Amino acid sequence: MAWSIDNKKCLRCGTCVSVCPLLALNLEENGLEIDRTKCVLCAKCSKVCPVKAIKVEK
């Protein structure tokens, strides 16, 4: 699966968490985390991120 997060760029704004239709994202103490068993690589999170911290490749 080609989903990746750059937690150094991430602003912890939570926008990606709120748009994920599968509820696969969570903001944790260490940064954004993904549940890879839920993600369907729709790329919605990547499109809404204001700092382009998420990359999704099918």
Residue pair 4/39 in contact (Cβ under 8 Å)? The answer is: no
Angle in degrees, CA 12, 15, 18, rounded to 5: 120
Question: Binding residue for ligand SF4 (CB under 6 A) from 4, 22, 55, 57?
Answer: 22
Residue pair 50/10 in contact (Cβ under 8 Å)? The answer is: no
Site string for ligand SF4, 28-57 (x = CB under 6 A): ----x-x----xxxxxxx--xxxx-xx-x-
The residues binding ligand SF4 (CB under 6 A) are 10-16, 20, 22, 24-25, 32, 34, 39-45, 48-51, 53-54, 56
